[in-house]
Amino acid sequence: MSLAEVIQEIVRMTPAERQEVEGQLRLLRWKETPGLGASLAAANARMDAGQKVTGRELEAMLRAREAAEHPAKG
């Protein structure tokens, strides 16, 4: 299928179908990121070595990050 044919198909799609295509393209781009495999392997090795956080710890980290990026207006 040519690029022109793909574009024609996308134009005919519903918004929901286009959203699904966009998600698939985003996933493909992520999977093709240079060094992704090595990065994931290194992260898994760190976790296997005991470097982990609980869900509550992660939530606290995210709240702190959000607060630092968007301080409350006084």
Asked, for residue 28, whether it belongs to a domain, the answer is yes
Q: What is the mean pLDDT of residues 62-69?
A: 94
Tally the domains of the chain.
Answer: 1
Asked, for residue 61, whether it belongs to a domain, the answer is yes
Q: What is the mean pLDDT of residues 38-49?
A: 93
Max CA separation in the chain (angstroms) = 57
Asked, for residue 74, whether it belongs to a domain, the answer is no
Cα distance between the two ends of the chain: 57
Give the C-alpha separation, 56 to 36, whole Å: 27
Q: What is the mean pLDDT of residues 40-67?
A: 93
User: Which string of b and e fits 38-61 if b means at least 16 CB within 10 Å?
Assistant: eeeeeeeeeeeeeeeeeeeeeeee
Residue 74 has a pLDDT of 60
Asked, for residue 52, whether it belongs to a domain, the answer is yes
Asked, for residue 38, whether it belongs to a domain, the answer is yes
Give the C-alpha separation, 59 to 62, whole Å: 5
Q: What is the pTM of this model?
A: 0.52
